[in-house]
Structure 1
Amino acid sequence: MSDVSHRIGEIVNSNDIVLFMKGTPLFPQCGFSSRAVAILDHLGVAYESVDVLQDMEIRQGIKAFSEWPTIPQLYVKGEFVGGSDIMMEMFEAGELAQLMAEAGVARAS
Structure 2
Amino acid sequence: MSWNVHMLGLLRETAPYSSSTSEFNNSLARDWDRLIEKCQREWEVNVNARSLQAEALDDQEMLEHRMLMWGEEEEELRLPRDEVEVFEADEFGFEVEEPDGGGDDPFADDL
Alignment TM class, shorter chain as reference? under 0.3
TM-score computed with the length of structure 1 as normaliser? 0.24
Q: More strand by proportion, 1 or 2?
A: 1
- Does 1 or 2 have the higher relative contact order (CA < 8 Å, sep 6+)? 1
